[in-house]
Structure 1
Amino acid sequence: MDFNRRQFLLSSVATFAVASLSTPLLAADPIVIGVPTAKSGPVGVADQADWLNGVTMAVEEINAAGGVNGRPLETRVVDIDLLTPEGTVAAFQSLVEGGVQALAHSFAIIPQPAMDVAASNGVPYLNGNTSQASLDLIKSNPKYHNIFQIDVAETYYGAGFVKFLSNQKAAGWKPKNNRIHIVQEQIGYTQVISKATQAAIAATNGEWVQGPITDIQFPVQDWTPVIQAIKEADCGVIMIDHWVAAELASFAQAYVLDPTQGSLVYLQYGPSQPEFLDLAGEASEGFIWGSVIGVYADEKGNAFRKAYQEKYPGTMGMVYTGSGYDTIHILAEVWKTTDPKDFDAVGKAIKAIKYRGVCGTYTFATDTNSPISYPTMTDDADSAQAHLIFQVQDGAHKIISPASLKEADMRPAPWM
C-alpha cells in the first residue's frame, strides 16, 4: 500500500472515529443548510430520506470535529411536494426567505421552479437532479451560476448502459442475440433515457440492434402484458426504463415466474432504493441495474457503508445516501476559506473544487456546473464519478462494472 493510499484510508477511518464522540459545544453562529425533503407521496420518498440520512451523518461528523472554523452546521428541513411546481416553490421559498447559506436537495422532479427560487438571491444550490434540462438552463443563463448538479445528466444512463454491454461482451459474455428491448415509462426523465439508449444502440453500427419499444404508464397495475411482449420479442437484452423501486420489485416477482430464458435484464436505477430488495426478496436475484452516481466499495466507500449501517440499520440505499453525505462535505470544504454569506465567493470555490468523496470525484469546472462520468466521458477514473453497474447477488447489491471498481463478476441470472 503506497503512502498516499495509506494516508487517504487513515484519514477516512479517523473521520468516522471522531464522529462517534459526543458533539462539542459550539458557541458560534451556525451555518444553516436548507434541505427540502419529501415526507410523503407516491414517488421519491425513499431517495429523499436516503439523502437526508447522508446529510445528517456528514453534519454530525463535521460538528463532532469542531464544525467549520468553529461554527456548527445546522440543517433546516422542510417538506416538499415533488409533483407540483407550487409545492416545489413553496418549500424552496421558505428556506431562501429563512436565510439559509446553502440549499442541498436530492432532486426536484420539476427542476426549474426550484432553480428559479435559488437564483432569486444567488444562494448556492447543490442537487442530484440528474437532469439534462437543468444543465441546459445552467449553461444558457448566467443567473443560475451558483447552482450545481452533483452528478451527470440522465442521458448517460443510455450511453453508459450500451457501453457496459459491449464491455461485457469483450470480457467473454455471449448474449443470445444482439437485440435490445426497451420498456419505457412516460415521464420526461425516462423518455430522455430511452432516446439516449436508442441513439447509443444506433452508434454501435450493428453490434447492437434496436428491438421493440414497449410503453408503460405509472402506476403499472399489471405486468403480465409487458412480460408477454418481452417473451414474444425474445431479445438478448431487456431494459426496463422505470425508476420506482416498488414497481420494479413487482416486475421482478412477476418476471421470474415466466422469464425469457437467456436474456440479460436491466432495471434502470430503481433497485438502488432500499424497498426494492425488501419487497422483491428472492425474486431480486440476478437483476442488473445502474446509477451514474453511487457509493463505491473501495476503502473509503466501505468505511462509509459500515458507519451508515451502524447508524441506520436495515437495507441501505446505494445512491443518495453517499451523495448527500458528500455534498455536505463539499460545502464544508469551501466554507473553510470563504464567508458562507458571500454566495458568489462560495460559488466560485465550488466551481474550482476537486473533491474525492464516497461516490467518486466531484468537479464542477464545466459549462454546466456538473461533474464528468467514468468511463463514458473519460478514461481517468480518478477525475470523475464512476457509472456503477450493480447486480443483485445472494440478496445484496454488488458492483460488477466498471472493471477497476468491481466487487464481483457478472453472474448468469437464474433464468440465464
Structure 2
Amino acid sequence: MADETPNRAHPADRIEAIVRSDGSVAPALGEPLVPVPAELVELAQGLLYERCLHVGFVWSTSLAREHWQVDLIREMLPDGPACRVHAWRLRELAYGLSPRELDIVTLIAAGCSNRDIAEGLVLSLRTVTTHVTNLMRKLGATNRAQVGATAYNQSLLRFPLPVEDIGALPLTLARIAASKGRRRDDGLLSPRTPVQSPLTIGALIPRAGRAADDGNAMLRGALLAVEQINARGGIRGRSLNLLPVGVDIDDERSLRGGLDRLIRRGVEAVTSGYFAHQLVAIDRSGVEGIPFLHSSASAATERFVSADRDRYRGVFQFCPPDADYAPGFVKHATDLRAAGLWRPGSPRLMVVQQSDWAIVDFGVLPAQRLGERHGWEVETVSVADGRTGSPSNWSDAAVEAARRRPAAVMLASYFVEDHAAFMAEFLRRGADALVHAVYAPSIPEFKHRLGDGAEGIIWATTTGTYSDRVGARFVEQYRRRFGVEPGRSHAGLSFDRVEVLAQAWGQSDPSDFDAVAARLLETRHRGVNGPYSFETPGGGTLGLGSTSEDPSLAQAHTVFQIQDGQDVLIHPRIYAAGRFRAPPWTR
C-alpha cells in the first residue's frame, strides 16, 4: 500500500517496488514490503500514463529535508505495464551541491536562462549568476550546456520541480509530474488477457561512486535496445524487461548485494559493467549457472574463466582485454613517428597507471618488450600502490611525469577524475609530451570536466563505437531518444549486448541457461561497437590485431583524438574518420 504521509521520515533506506497504473503497489520479487510514499506512487502512474520508459531524479521531501535518488522504469508484466520504483536515501547530494544549487541545475537542464531562473525562484540576477559560477566549478563544466548535460546524464533533476509552471519545462520529468496520479486504461492489458511472461535482463550498473556518469550511458544504451526489440515484437512474442540495480563500482558488498537481488528476482540473464570485484560476481553467477555478460575488459577475468570454463560456461566478456592498452600505445607512437606526423623529443615513453584494482593489467611488460624492438624506453609510474616514493595521487604523478620529460605519456585509468587531476598539473608545468589516455574520454563527462584542456588528447578503448554508418545511426537514435550524447564506448556496448542476448534467446529456451550459453558461444554479430564473436578461451571477444586478423570477427582497438571538441576516430586506418593533429600544447 502507498504511504499516505509521504513527508515523514521513511523507515527504510531503500525502496524496491512495483506500481501499476491503478496505483496499487506490490513488493519487487525477493524484496521486503516497505511503504512507498504516495508522491512516488503518483509519479509512477504519471510515467505509465505518458508511456515513458525511464526517468531519474532526486526526490526531496518537504518536512524531513531528506533527499532520495529515484529511478522509475517501465516494465511489462503478465497483467500489463507497470512501473518499477528503485530509490535510495542520499547522505549528501552529488558534487556537494546544496538544495538551492539543485534547483538551479534543474532549471538549467530545462533550458532556462539566468533571468528566467531569477524570476522563477524570486532571486536577484546577481545571486543566480553566482550560483551558476559555483555550479560550473563543482561540476567541472566550462559552460551552461555542460552543466545541463551533466544534470541530465547523472539524474541531478529535483522533484518537486522548483517552479510552479511545470508544464512549461521541456523535461520528461515535467511531463510525468503534470500527469502524476492519472490512470491510462486505453491499450492496457487486463489481468484476463492471456500473455506470455516477459524476459527480464538484470543489469548491474555503476550508479554510486566513480563512473556514475558512465553508468547512465550503460543504462540508456540497454534501454534503447530493449525498446527497439519490443517495438519489433519482442522475442517470439515475449517482451523484454530491463531491471537495473545501482552498485558502487569499488564496493564488494554493494556488488554482492546487487547480484543477490537480481538472482532473487528470477532474471533470465545478468549484464554487468566494470567493477573492482568482478571476479566475485563471476563466481556467483557460475554457481547459479545464469548467463553473465560483462564488460570488464580484463585479461585477469578471462584467465579466471578459462581455468574452469565448464563452471563458467555462461560467462562472456563483451570486449577485448585491457592487456592490449600499453602495447597499443607503443604501436601508435611508433606509427606516428614512422609516418613523420610526430617528432618525439626523446626515446622515452611513460605509462602512468592506476594500481587499486587487482583485476587490471594494462599489458606493461609486453609493451616494454615491444618498445625495445622499436627503440623506445617504456617507463612506468604506479599511482597509490603503497610503495615508498610512489605518487599518492594523480596530481603528484603529473609532477613526476613532467620531471622525467617523456616523449609521450599514457594515462592508464578508467576514471575521469584521475585524468582531470593529471592534466591540470601536467599542463600547468608546461609539459609538451603527447598524452594518450585510456578509456575515460569515452565518457561524456570527460570533456565537460576538462573543458579546453581536453583538446588534442589521444585516447584509446578496447571497445569503441565505430564512425561508420552502423555507429552513426546508433548515435542519432540515442541522441533523439534521450537528448544527450552517448559517448563512444559503453552506451554502444550495452546496446549491442542486449541485441546479442536477444538473438541467443530467439534461438533457444531462455530458461535453459546451458542452451543460451551454447548459442552465445556461436555468436556472429556486427554491432555499433564492431563485431562480436566469443572465441577466446575465457569467453571474451576477439581483438583485431591481437587475437585475430579478421575485421569481420574481431573488434578494433580504436584510437580517437579530441579535435575541435569532437572525438575523431584516427586508428585503425580502415575505420578512421580523420587524421592525427599535433596537440596545442606541443606546437
- Please give the range of the TM-score, normalised by the shorter of the 2 chains: 0.7 to 0.9
Contact 2:348–2:378 (8 Å) recurs in 1: yes
1:401 aligns with 2:571: yes
- Alpha-carbon separation, structure 1, partners of 2:382 and 2:514: 44
Corresponding letter in the other structure for 1:181:
M
Task: Classify 1:134/1:176 alpha carbon distance in 2 versus 1 (closer, same or farther; 3 Å).
Answer: same
Q: Deviations over 1:91-129 (max 9, x none)?
A: 111111211111111222201211122112211110001
The aligned amino acid for 1:314 is: V
* Residue in 2 that maps onto 1:175: 344
Contact 2:329 2:410 in 1 (8 A): no
The match for 1:53 among 198, 212, 220 is: 220
Equivalent in the alignment of 1:3: none
Structure 2 contact 384–393 (Cα < 8 Å) conserved: no
Q: Distance in 1 between matches of 2:524 and 2:332?
A: 26
1:122 aligns with 2:253: no
User: Superposition pairs for residues 81-160 of structure 1, below 5 Å?
Assistant: 81-141=248-308, 142-160=310-328
Secondary structure in 2 matching 1:60: helix
Q: Is the 8 A contact 1:119 1:144 kept in 2?
A: yes
What code does the residue aligned with 2:376 have? V
Structure 1 position 254, deviation (Å): 3.3
Shift of 1:225: 4.0
Q: Which residue of 2 aligns with 1:249?
A: 420
State whether residues 249 and 277 of structure 1, in contact with CA within 8 Å, keep that contact through their aligned partners in structure 2: no
Aligned twin of 1:11: none
CA distance in 2, matches of 1:44, 1:250: 16
Matches within 5 A, 1:243-322: 243-261=414-432, 263-322=433-492
- In the aligned structure 2, how far is the partner of 1:132 from the partner of 1:190? 8
* Secondary structure of the structure 1 residue equivalent to 2:509: coil
- 2:402 equivalent to 1:231: yes
Whichever residue aligns with residue 139 of structure 1, its letter is: S
Task: Say which SS state the counterpart of residue 208 (structure 2) adopts.
Answer: coil
How far residue 130 of structure 1 moved from its aligned partner, in angstroms, is 1.0
- 1:35 corresponding residue in structure 2: 203
Q: How far apart, CA to CA, are the structure 1 residues paired with 2:360 and 2:296?
A: 15
Length-normalised TM-score, structure 1: 0.88
The structure 1 residue matched to 2:356, chosen from 176, 180, 187, is 187
Q: 1:213-266 CA distances to partner (integer Å, 9 max, x unpaired)? A: 333239x987554333223222111112222112312332333333322x2111
Cα distance in 1 between the residues matched to 2:358 and 2:564: 30
Larger Rg: 2
SS at match of 1:382: coil
2:289–2:513 Cα contact (<8 Å) kept: yes
C-alpha contact 2:383 2:394 (8 A) present in aligned 1:
no
Task: Report the TM-score, using the length of structure 2 for normalisation.
Answer: 0.63
* SS, match of residue 412 in structure 1: coil
Aligned residues: 390
Aligned to 2:33: none
Q: How far does the alpha carbon of each residue in 1:317-363 deviate from its partner, in whole angstroms, 9 at most, with x for none?
A: 21110000000000111111111001100000000111110001000
- SS at 1:78 equivalent: strand
**Structure 2 CA distance, aligned partners of 1:241 and 1:302?**
28
> Amino acid of the residue matched to residue 401 of structure 2?
I
Q: Report the more deviating stretch, 60-69 or 130-139.
A: 130-139
Counterpart of 1:373? 543
Kept in 1: contact 2:353–2:381 (CA 8 A) = yes
Matched residues in 2 for 1:206 and 1:353: separation?
37
Q: Quick check: 2:330–2:370 contact (8 Å CA) kept in 1?
A: no
Q: Unpaired runs of 5+ in structure 2?
A: 1-52, 54-80, 82-186, 190-194, 386-390
Give the 3-state SS of the residue equivalent to 2:483 in structure 1: coil
Q: Distance in 2 between matches of 1:224 and 1:108?
A: 24
Residue type matched to 2:412 in 1? Answer: D
Question: What letter is aligned with 1:304?
Answer: F
- Distance in 1, matches of 2:234 and 2:248, equals 31
CA distance in 1, matches of 2:271, 2:349: 37
Match of 1:183, SS state, is strand
SS in 1 for 2:374: coil
Amino acid at match of 2:296: N
What is the CA distance between 1:207 and its match in structure 2? 1.7
| Secondary structure of the corresponding residue to residue 532 of structure 2 | strand
Give me the whole-angstrom Cα distance separating, in 1, the residues matched to 2:293 and 2:220. Answer: 16
> How far apart are the structure 2 equivalents of 1:208 and 1:272?
30
Shift of 1:212: 4.1
Q: RMSD of the TM alignment (CA)?
A: 2.2
Give the deviation of 1:178 after TM superposition.
2.2
Paired residue type of 1:35: A
**In the alignment, structure 1 residue 347 sits paired with structure 2 residue 517:** yes
Secondary structure of the equivalent of 1:188? coil
Contact persistence 2:200–2:243 (CA under 8 A): yes
Using the alignment, how far apart are the partners of 1:109 and 1:80 within structure 2? 11
Unaligned runs of at least 5 residues, structure 1: 1-18
Q: Is the 8 A contact 1:253 1:284 kept in 2?
A: no
Q: 2:526 — aligned with what?
A: 356
Q: Distance in 1 between matches of 2:248 and 2:218?
A: 16
